[in-house]
């Protein structure tokens, strides 16, 4: 089974998801936003599936540290995607893609239901 985990290596939620996968011997590929960036196609697909308001992490420090004028420009999916391309730390983490389904954020129960059921 092909599993991709998208995120930032030092993020607590990403670490928890990776630990879960490793403990359950689920092979995965890790995509580091900081080093590898993220494509507009990926962001558009995730926004379509999860909603751009959920993919854009407004609870994190990256969002909170943005200038108010920049935040006020984020009014729809396209403006959110453009912001996330430039500020990859503003993407909710982790995003897990697999043949069984996709997940946004870390949720132990969702991971168990997806991979252990």
Q: Angle 77-95-9 (CA atoms, 0-180°, nearest 5)?
A: 120
Locate tokens 């290596």: which residue? Answer: 9
Catalytic residue among 11, 66, 85, 114: 11
**N- to C-terminal Cα distance for the chain?**
14
Label the pairing between strands 3-7 and 95-98: antiparallel
Contact 85, 43 (CB under 8 A): yes
Q: Mark whether 47 is an active-site residue.
A: no
Peptide bond into 94 cis (omega under 30): yes
Which residues lie closer than 8 Å to 53 by C-beta, 6 or more apart?
80
* Residues that are catalytic: 11
């Amino acid at each position: 089974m092909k599993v991709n985990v998208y995120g930032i290596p030092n993020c607590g939620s990403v670490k928890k998801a990776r630990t879960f996968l490793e403990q359950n011997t689920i092979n995965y590929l890790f995509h580091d936003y900081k080093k590898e960036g993220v494509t507009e196609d990926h962001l558009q697909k995730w926004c379509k599936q999860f909603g751009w308001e959920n993919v854009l992490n407004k609870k994190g420090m990256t969002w909170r540290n943005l200038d108010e004028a920049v935040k006020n420009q984020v009014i729809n999916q396209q403006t959110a995607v453009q912001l996330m391309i430039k500020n990859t730390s503003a993407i909710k983490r982790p995003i897990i893609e697999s043949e069984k389904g996709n997940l946004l954020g870390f949720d132990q129960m969702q991971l168990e239901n997806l991979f252990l059921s």
